[in-house]
Amino acid sequence: MSRLTRYAVAAAALMAVLPAAASAQADALDAALLKKAPEVLRHLKAKGYKTVGVLKFLVQLGDAPPSDNLGEVNTALANRLQVALLVASDPKDPVMLIRSPGRQAPKGASHLDADGRKAFFNAKYQPAWGTAKQVDADAFVTGLAVIAKDRQTMTLKLQSFDDTGAIETLPGELTLPVPLRTLVETGSGYAFSPEKYGKLLEGSRGVPQDKRREVASKDVAAEVSTQQKNETPAKAVANAPPAAPATPPVRFTVFYNDTPHDGLAGKVLPEPKEGETVRFEIENLWPETVAVVLKVNGQNTLYKETGAPFACRKWVLAPREKVGIRGFVTGPKEEELFKVLSVKESEEQAVNYGDNAGTFRLTVFRGLMKKPDEPAGADEADDRLALNAVSTGVIPEQDSPPQQLTSLQARLRDRRASFEGIRGMVEGGKKVSGSGVEQVTFAVDADNPPPVDVVVRYYQPKGYAPVRIAQ
């Protein structure tokens, strides 16, 4: 970075200035998983399982066959269930949870067939808490999410298996409206434009807050649904996705060496070649300050966080301001320049249970700048913090796991926690000293969907469906 750049601390840490904000980013799925978690734990205990891991879900879109690599959604569902189980665990008699077992899985492990399921038991795993460095697994939990053809409802069926490799369906499936975030995580995206939505985007200057929230949620879901209605993934491959609106809130440019590519053009980007430099430029086109989360392979470009975009640190841009991003910012004056992996390295990373591999995700937030010393307001209720933890879907990384479950549960509820993640096709390479970033306070408008949430694929591992952007 050539100058001092502002960023906002994790949004969840700022939400006390907007009392209902944290829960506003949680959705019906988060609440359903949190309610379901005690029942799942009781079932696991009844089976005699003492140490359990949660693996990524299969996801079925309409009449298409179930897929384990549809995009972020496969692992996102597992992560949110994993946190729900941790939050709901009884410290006096817990089931030990394995920390993100998919990232620790041995070669040949796959929950798609009996032999692959048995292979999960050929390794030891890091527990989520306790003094043991590694533990044996007794069972794994996974699931099938079926999203209706019209993209309006979703049914979740939870499953478990032990070292016999036999799948058991847990009692009580869940049926609920498809959250907008889940649609985006399947590889869809959307972008609002001022011309199309008018006063909807003027915030308090034109539309009452309760009406904005109702209309925005309805219209965004309708946009994504309309784009995908009656489409199978096979048809989506054949049909080029439409261009995004001409004037979204930001201009997002991806550079390979010095060749620019429009990140909001609604197309899959060409793959960068080994040895090329990769950098990004984001320009705020709106007459108000916005905050932006940019993820590469599921990792935030600020401090490599892997939580939900709402809970991540954000680039803060004043009107017409630009920010150049050439690597992961890992400290106030430290960066890891992006590096394009070789073909062999890319293939190895793509199969490393990394469903975010080969993607850029750009999420834009509206809100207000706040003074650092403004009063934060009352603390949120514990149940709201628990729901926010499930919504974030990430276990905070530490040098060593906490020794007690209660310590981990408290950390999950700590909205200031930062997160670490996995690597992918474009990764952090050479460490360099930059001119630094400055922390500011930006209160996100949590009562409305982000005006832009787009997933762009730049690398196409085998079996992945291309992304789609609704106008």
Supply the DSSP string of 31-70, one letter for each residue.
HHHHHHHHHHHHHHHHTT--EEEE-PPEEEETTSPPBS-S
**Strands 153-161 vs 174-177: parallel, antiparallel or unpaired:** antiparallel
- Overall average pLDDT of the 24-49 stretch: 89
- The residue with greater pLDDT, 21 or 90, is 90
DSSP 8-state symbol, 287: S
Mean pLDDT of 168-174: 91
Taking only the tens place, the pLDDT of each residue in 195-230 is 555 544 444 333 344 444 455 555 555 555 544 443
Residue 252 confidence (pLDDT): 93
CA 183/CA 126 separation, integer angstroms: 31
CA distances for 367 relative to 93, 96, 291, 459, 463, angstroms: 43, 40, 8, 33, 38
User: What's the pLDDT at 450?
Assistant: 84
pTM reported for the whole predicted model: 0.74
Which of the residue ranges 37-46, 64-73, 301-310 has the most confident prediction, judged by mean pLDDT? 37-46
* Lowest mean pLDDT, pick from 139-148, 159-168, 226-235: 226-235
35 vs 379 pLDDT, higher one: 35
Q: Does 280 or 108 have the greater pLDDT score?
A: 280
**pLDDT score for 310:** 81
Asked whether residue 234 carries a pLDDT value surpassing 60, the answer given is no
Domains of the chain are: 5-25+188-400+410-457 (no CATH), 28-178 (3.40.50.10610)
Residue type, 320: R
